């Protein structure tokens, strides 16, 4: 399995301008739809290990961040985990070739 170049784009939260990326990379929006939990980590599992944390900020309830794999190569189904402030990580799996939005909730998640 090819390694993805992990790149998280946070223009909306950081106010930074985003450089142009290839139009076909695996991009998605991470939404914190929990009532009170703060997301402070997002990692993917590939090649037998968890990636470094994609985010360097805290995503509060009601906030969203644009994320980008920076690639369209490799496996479409790659597990991910979300770290919550004060709580253990939760592990999930989705088909990244189809995901546009991930909605983290008080219990579990949904996507479209």
Domain-embedded: residue 6:
no
d(CA 73, CA 95): 13
Q: Provide the residue range defining the domain that includes 63.
A: 11-111
d(CA 72, CA 63): 26
Whether the Cβ atoms of residue 11 and residue 66 lie closer than 8 Å to each other:
yes
Domain-embedded: residue 4:
no
Whether the Cβ atoms of residue 7 and residue 42 lie closer than 8 Å to each other:
no
- Please give the tally of structural domains in the chain: 1
Q: How confident is the model at residue 6 (pLDDT cuts 50, 70, 90)?
A: very low
Tens digits of per-residue pLDDT, 23-35?
578 889 999 999 9
pLDDT reported for residue 85:
95
Domain-embedded: residue 23:
yes
- For the cut 70, the answer to whether the pLDDT of residue 13 exceeds it is no
**DSSP letter assigned to residue 23:** T
Tens digits of per-residue pLDDT, 43-85?
999 899 999 999 999 999 999 999 998 887 888 899 999 999 9
Domain-embedded: residue 92:
yes
CATH number for the domain that contains residue 77? 2.60.40
Question: What H or E segment, with its residue span, contains residue 14?
Answer: helix 11-14
Q: What does pLDDT average to over the chain?
A: 81
Domain-embedded: residue 1:
no
């Amino acid at each position: 399995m090819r390694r993805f170049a992990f790149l998280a784009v946070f223009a909306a939260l950081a106010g930074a301008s985003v450089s142009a990326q290839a139009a076909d990379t695996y991009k998605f929006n991470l939404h914190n739809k929990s009532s009170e939990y703060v997301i402070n980590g997002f990692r993917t599992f590939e090649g037998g290990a968890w990636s470094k944390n994609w985010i360097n900020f805290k995503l509060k309830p009601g906030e969203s961040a644009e994320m980008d794999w920076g690639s369209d190569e490799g496996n479409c189904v790659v597990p991910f985990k979300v770290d919550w402030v004060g709580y253990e990580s939760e592990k999930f799996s989705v088909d990244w070739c189809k995901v546009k939005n991930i909605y983290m909730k008080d219990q579990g998640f949904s996507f479209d």
